[in-house]
Structure 1
Amino acid sequence: MSKDPNSGLILPAERPTSLVTRRNALIGGAGLLLAGCDQINASPTVKSVLSLGEQATHGAQRLVTDRNALAREFSRADMSPVFRENGNRNPGTPEYAALAANKFADWTLVVDGMVAQPLRISLAQMMAAPRRTQITRHDCVEGWSAIGEWSGVPLGLILRRAGMSGNAKYVVFHCADSTNGAPYYESIDMIDAFHPQTILATHMNGELLTVGHGAPLRLRVERQLGYKQAKYVMRVEAVASLEGIHGGGGGYWEDHRGYQWFAGI
């Protein structure tokens, strides 16, 4: 890497973009799961649980929940011996297979939508960017949980680097996989997008993500349930509205299974 952290910065989307700047390099040492759950039997009880709070407005939820509070972080001694792979375990497309065969050397993350400077970020550049590592608990709507260590780039850093518009209200994560023929995607609002524990993770438990856990990049938004943790992220899009994006519900499970969009814990 060049000694000048700003050298080689390429703002247009045609080429990969460095995330290292003089400003964020200073915070690089601050250090301070899974894309949905397996399809479950939609019993009346499960449907009732998944629709809790459906009639409450997002504004009302903010009144009773500190959205800026940190999720609990654990020690390495607390980490689960097994962290399940669930949701899709492999996108299963020729395009993804080619990327995986080359160890994702040709993979790039697209950042676009309501931004001043669309970005294309290579995996090598993601690795070189300021990072955050955290040990947190993943809670699944199936009723299980697991504690694991995640390391990656804070989403807020990337959005600021792209010059996100103040009129954007949501961030949409477009993924390489699909379920039952429908593209997998998820979305969060700006409170979660800029939460310090919201990261785009490249590592789990000290190792590069495996294919089953979402390689090469997955979302960790620690104040939400497991189905919000999109895997195989290929594109991050800033938008003013979720209308017109696939089914309009803000995510695959929201569109096709009636899960609530805000899954805060």
Structure 2
Amino acid sequence: MNRRRWLAGALATAGTAMLSACNQAGTALAEQARRMGEGLTRRAQRLVVPRDALAPTYSRAEISPDFKANGSIDPAAADYRALKAGGFAGYRLVVDGLVERPLSLSLADLRRRPAQSQITKHDCVEGWTSIGEWTGVRLETLLEEAGLKPSAKYIVFHCFDALDQQEDGDRYYESIDLVDARHPQTILAYDMNGEVLPVPHGAPLRLRVERQLGYKHAKYIRRIEAVESFAHLGGGKGGYWEDRGYEWFAGI
């Protein structure tokens, strides 16, 4: 009787282990299939849509009267609060990583570069849209100044905010490839609707990458890093939300 009980328990344990292994294998296969589908979508869009194809632009009369501030709206990090208290006078944007000439730029430095304004539609993954006017410096301008090394493949945006609003929380980060980084409408915005960029919308500096969904438009940028791979950052998926299951390529 004891032997039969032991055998029954052993078989049950083995069955549970096999089911667990099958579930893990199924999850791995599903993740692999998702990534293959994402890559196919990206390649198909790049094949059909010219690299410099512009996102639609709008008139000032079409600007949304209430542009929703989403995600972080007032970072709790001590370094950000100190900068905000000083009107961002001490802010420096760092551009480093795989570059020949690392940069450290104040807001005044950024405003001295050629400015670009565009009125575009923001498409949120939650299903809402808003139209706003953004003014800033083209990302490509800064990348040219810094001089990308041949091994650089992606641009990573490191931000001040943590969505859980904890001082030691996971800070937001995002990444794009060089096609989107060099796109003529990809800018680092410091003004919104003719005014200094408000804190809820990412002051002092946010990304506008107009052919991507809203979660790619990183706010509260503190550092821009050129990398060959983002596998070593965060969860290795290329962004805060990507680490939590979102697609890395969010082209629209």
TM-score scaled by length of structure 1:
0.78
Aligned-pair identity (%) = 60
The alignment partner of 2:241 has SS state of helix
- The code of the aligned residue for 2:198 comes to T
Match of 2:240 in 1: 252
Match of 1:84 in 2: 68
Q: Is this contact kept in 1: 2:64–2:130, CA < 8 A? A: yes
Shift of 1:183: 1.6
How many residue pairs get aligned? The number is 215
Selected match of 1:142 from 98, 102, 126 = 126
Shift of 1:94: 1.7
Match of 2:248 in 1: 261
Match of 1:95 in 2: 79
The alignment partner of 1:127 has SS state of helix
Matched, 1:196 2:178: no
- The code of the aligned residue for 1:83 comes to F
Match of 1:222 in 2: 210
The alignment partner of 1:54 has SS state of helix
The alignment partner of 2:79 has SS state of helix
Q: Deviations for 1:62-105, whole angstroms, at most 9, x for unmatched residues?
A: 22333320001111011111101111001112211110011100
- The code of the aligned residue for 1:185 comes to Y
Tell me the distance in 2 between the aligned counterparts of 1:109 and 1:58: 30
- The code of the aligned residue for 1:63 comes to L
Tell me the distance in 2 between the aligned counterparts of 1:156 and 1:140: 24
Shift of 1:55: 6.1
The alignment partner of 2:230 has SS state of coil
Q: Is this contact kept in 1: 2:42–2:251, CA < 8 A? A: no
Shift of 1:230: 0.2
Q: Is this contact kept in 2: 1:106–1:122, CA < 8 A? A: yes
Selected match of 1:174 from 146, 158, 174 = 158
Shift of 1:164: 1.1
Q: Is this contact kept in 1: 2:135–2:189, CA < 8 A? A: yes
Shift of 1:51: 9.0
Shift of 1:57: 5.7
Match of 2:48 in 1: 64
Match of 1:213 in 2: 201
- The code of the aligned residue for 1:138 comes to H
Shift of 1:178: 1.2
Tell me the distance in 1 between the aligned counterparts of 2:35 and 2:151: 29
Tell me the distance in 2 between the aligned counterparts of 1:52 and 1:142: 24
Tell me the distance in 2 between the aligned counterparts of 1:54 and 1:208: 36
Greater helix fraction, Structure 1 or Structure 2? 2
Selected match of 1:156 from 121, 129, 140 = 140
Aligned CA RMSD, in angstroms, stands at 1.7
Which runs of no fewer than 5 residues in structure 2 stay unpaired? 1-33
Q: Is this contact kept in 1: 2:71–2:163, CA < 8 A? A: no
The alignment partner of 2:40 has SS state of coil
Q: Is this contact kept in 2: 1:51–1:259, CA < 8 A? A: no
Rate the CA distance shift 1:110–1:141 in 2: closer, same or farther, 3 A: same
TM-score scaled by length of structure 2:
0.82
Which runs of no fewer than 5 residues in structure 1 stay unpaired? 1-49
Tell me the distance in 2 between the aligned counterparts of 1:54 and 1:259: 11
Q: Deviations for 1:198-238, whole angstroms, at most 9, x for unmatched residues?
A: 00000000001111010000000000000100000000000
The alignment partner of 1:56 has SS state of helix
Higher relative contact order (CA 8 A, sep 6+): 1
- Where in structure 1 do 4 or more consecutive aligned residues deviate above 4 Å? 50-53
Q: Is this contact kept in 1: 2:153–2:228, CA < 8 A? A: yes
Matched, 1:184 2:172: yes
The alignment partner of 1:235 has SS state of strand
